[in-house]
Amino acid sequence: MRIPFIAGNWKMYKDMAQARGFALKFKTLYHGTDVKTAIFAPYPQLALLVEEFKGTGIGVGAQNVHFEKEGAFTGEVSIPMLEELGVDYCLVGHSERRQYFGETDETVNLKLKALLQSSILPLVCVGENLSEREAGKEKDIVSGQIKAAFSGIAGEDAEKVTVAYEPVWAIGTGKTATAQQAQDMCECIRQTLAAMYDEETADKIIIQYGGSVKPDNASEIMDMPEIDGALVGGASLDPLKFIEIVNF
């Protein structure tokens, strides 16, 4: 049984006061029983959120991390540093990191492997861009990203990874993939994982959809059998909208 997992990705939004305001409101609204949730916040807000969400069941995640434990890597943050803060999750390979900051399939794989040696659970993002979809190559692109991300990772570790399918053309555009398009790709991702591991392992992995998820389309997306959750950008900035999605 896969427990639904609805996560919010704040990207580069919210100052301290806004993050605190969100946390104070959201924890009064969330009565987590059958849905897991987490907020992926900018680094400066992580400690505050860990403190505010203590004992609530609401998870806290970082949006990126370096794969080395320490070193001369100016501007980077390590996994032990995040562990020290009490962070539960970390995003890997978000399309904005791939597009603007040189994240590659190789660094995604190194980050996944390093996180799986730690107490922090990885959430890896995959997705095709518009020209790849228009060329009919979207399944090849996404299954290639999955194979590269999980390369050299054992089945018992793979089960701990959450996958988010985020078609780049649906991010921040208001243009959601149809529930059927999202379902088809999540099914393709699960088949790719089943071919790499086995059906039992693939059936345990949580696969989210992300890209313009809003309160009014969340339940249709979550009704799809291969979609186990959502990674929400814009609509996760407002606690009232985000709780509506969590309570799909």
Kindly state whether residue 166 participates in binding ligand 13P, applying the rule CB under 6 A: yes
Binding mask 125-164 for ligand 13P (x = CB under 6 A): ----------------------------------------
Q: Pick between residue 197 and residue 246 the one whose CB is nearest to ligand 13P.
A: 246
Q: What spatial distance separates the first Cα and last Cα of the chain, rounded to whole Å? A: 18
Half-sphere exposure of 37 (CA within 13 A, CB side): 26
Partners of residue 92 on adjacent β-strands: 124
Kindly state whether residue 59 participates in binding ligand 13P, applying the rule CB under 6 A: no
Q: How far is the CB of 94 from ligand 13P (least distance, A)?
A: 6
Instruction: Return the range that interacts with ligand 13P (CB under 6 A); candidates 76-84, 101-109, 153-161, 230-238.
Output: 230-238
Q: Which of 108, 124, 232, 246 binds ligand 13P (CB under 6 A)?
A: 232
Q: Which of 5, 6, 9, 41 binds ligand 13P (CB under 6 A)?
A: 9
Contact 68, 110 (CB under 8 A): no
Catalytic residue among 94, 103, 128, 226: 94
Kindly state whether residue 212 participates in binding ligand 13P, applying the rule CB under 6 A: yes
Q: Pick between residue 66 and residue 97 the one whose CB is nearest to ligand 13P.
A: 97
Catalytic residue check, 94: yes
Of 124, 133, 138, 146, give the one whose Cα is nearest residue 191.
Answer: 146
Q: Give CA separation, 70 vs 67, 76, 247, in Å.
A: 9, 9, 40
The footprint of ligand 13P on residues 89-128 (CB under 6 A) is 94
Q: Pick between residue 14 and residue 197 the one whose CB is nearest to ligand 13P.
A: 14
Minimal CB distance residue for ligand 13P: 233
Kindly state whether residue 41 participates in binding ligand 13P, applying the rule CB under 6 A: no
Instruction: Return the range that interacts with ligand 13P (CB under 6 A); candidates 45-53, 154-162, 225-233, 238-246.
Output: 225-233
Catalytic residue check, 66: no
Site residues for ligand 13P per CB under 6 A: 9, 94, 166, 171-172, 210-213, 231-235
Residues annotated as catalytic are 94, 166
